[in-house]
Amino acid sequence: MAEELPLVDFGDPAQKRRIIRHLETIVDGVHRVKVKRVRDQITTKQRGYYFAVICPHAAKGIRDQWGEEFVNSMDAHEFFKDRFLRIPVVDHITGELMGYRTRSTTELDKAEFSRYVEACIQFCFEYLHVAVPTPFNPKELPADPAAPELPAKDEPEQLPPAPPARRRGGRKERK
């Protein structure tokens, strides 16, 4: 099993000093030290909403509005990435723009992905004339008087009584 590495908050001066003191105690030689920023990961619900709702609606909008016949959800996804996640690649010595690179959605943290999703929804509305449904949240729906009342979250669900158990085996002899 992989060793769980400690998290260090470099915004906390005491934690930063403790790490620096520890590094000073390391013996001479070549060492590999890896410091990786921890980011707030995209949730499964966010990704699911994007791929199951936004991309299919966008693909249909592209087919309907622009006449592109063979556009599917993945094509819409690639289109959105190119439109909203393209970043310049610059030669840092000369400052010359060398080209562009498209970021993957897996590189985004939760906040960046939320902004990306909002940009995609806005694009669908403005350019494709498609209203993307909002994520389903039953708490936001108006109460339907004909709907059965759902138990509160803290209440256990009341199940109907179980039918009486049937006896197995042969028939009893009658006397």
pLDDT value, residue 24: 86
Task: Please state the pTM of the whole predicted model.
Answer: 0.60
The candidate with the shortest Cα–Cα distance to 112, out of 29, 50, 53, 56, is 50
- The rounded distance, in Å, linking the Cα atoms of 98 and 101 is 10
30 residue type, one letter = V
Q: 133 near 55, Cβ under 8 Å?
A: no
**DSSP per residue, 81-142:** HHHHSEEEEE-TTT--EEEEEEPPGGG--HHHHHHHHHHHHHHHHHHS---PPPPP-GGGSP
Write the CA distances from 35 to 9, 19, 110, integer angstroms: 11, 11, 21
pLDDT value, residue 162: 60
Q: 113 near 44, Cβ under 8 Å?
A: no
pLDDT in tens, the chain (175 residues): 456 667 777 788 888 888 888 888 888 888 888 877 777 788 899 999 999 999 999 999 999 999 999 999 999 999 999 999 999 999 999 999 999 999 999 999 999 999 999 999 999 999 999 999 988 665 555 555 565 555 555 555 555 666 666 666 555 555 5
Structure tokens at 143: 């109460």
Domain residue spans of the chain? 39-136
pLDDT value, residue 114: 94
Q: 59 near 73, Cβ under 8 Å?
A: yes
